[in-house]
Chain A
Amino acid sequence: MLTLPIEYYLTLSAVIFIIGTIGVLTRRNAIIIFMCIELMLNSVNLTLVAFSQYMGDMAGQIMVLLVMTVAAAEAAVGLAIVLALFRNKQTVYVDEVNVLKW
């Protein structure tokens, strides 16, 4: 049986989501920004699993599986983009990639 109120899980996942948002907005390293996006995806996963278990509905857990798939595809392609960026510019700092400003 689940004895804790669901608000505990929801508050924790909101806090983790905010930590991820702060990371995305303040860090310059593209790989760390990428890891912060993973943090945000994970906090949403926690919300989905909590709702799924408290409401007795499997939809939340299926959605978590789909989110994980998208996260893996994003990891593969996103990190490939970071590698291509490094090959062309010799940097992974997002504020040094500003050629479009010309």
Chain B
Amino acid sequence: MIEQYIPVIAMIVTGILFGVVSVKAHEILGPQRPNKSKETPYESGMEPVASAHERFSVKFYLVAMLFILFDIEIVFMYPWAASFRELGGFALWAMLLFVVTLFVGYIYIVKKKALKWD
């Protein structure tokens, strides 16, 4: 039944072709008269003062990492949510225990002020 994914493939190919063709067509068809001020990053704006590749703070990392852990929680919730009527009370209690355990972790994170922005 792999045939049902052919529209998806067609969409991906169309998307790639659209990007490549429009960039290339602009390069080939458009007039090109470069000069010094046109090639600066912001043509009529500020002069850039430093490189864009700047190290950023560890605080962002902690947020990204906690996002992953709660993302996994959602992954386990999907199969439950898709058919929780058939699964019944047992699955409900199992899921409740799961969420409560993760909530303990959330309380720890908040109490340690890991999400605080200072």
Tally of contacts, chain A with chain B, CB under 8 A: 23
Interface SS of A by simple majority: helix
Interface residues on B, range: 10 to 19
Which residues of B (63-114) have their CB < 8 Å from a CB of A? Answer: 65, 68-69, 71-72, 75-76
Residues on B with beta carbons closer than 8 Å to the beta carbon of A75? 65, 68
What is the number of residues of chain A that contact chain B, defined by CB distance less than 8 Å? Answer: 11
In the bound complex, CA of A83 to CA of B57 (Å):
11
Known interface pairs A65-B75, A65-B76. Does A72 touch B68 (Cβ–Cβ under 8 Å)? yes
B69 near A68 (CB under 8 angstroms)? no
Residues on B with beta carbons closer than 8 Å to the beta carbon of A53? none
In the bound complex, CA of A50 to CA of B69 (Å):
27
Known interface pairs A72-B68, A76-B68, A76-B69. Does A83 touch B76 (Cβ–Cβ under 8 Å)? no
Residues on B with beta carbons closer than 8 Å to the beta carbon of A1? 1
Residues on B with beta carbons closer than 8 Å to the beta carbon of A68? 72, 75
In the bound complex, CA of A48 to CA of B65 (Å):
27
B42 to chain A minimum Cβ distance, whole angstroms, is 33
Q: Mark B32-75, 1 if CB is under 8 A from A, else 0.
A: 00000000000000000000000000100100010011011001
In the bound complex, CA of A11 to CA of B64 (Å):
35
Closest A residue, CB atoms, query B68 = A72
Q: Mark A1-18, 1 if CB is under 8 A from B, else 0.
A: 100000000000000000
Q: Can you name 23 A-B residue pairings with CB atoms under 8 Å?
A: A1-B1, A65-B75, A65-B76, A68-B72, A68-B75, A69-B72, A72-B68, A72-B69, A72-B71, A72-B72, A73-B69, A73-B72, A75-B65, A75-B68, A76-B65, A76-B68, A76-B69, A79-B61, A79-B65, A80-B61, A80-B65, A83-B58, A83-B61
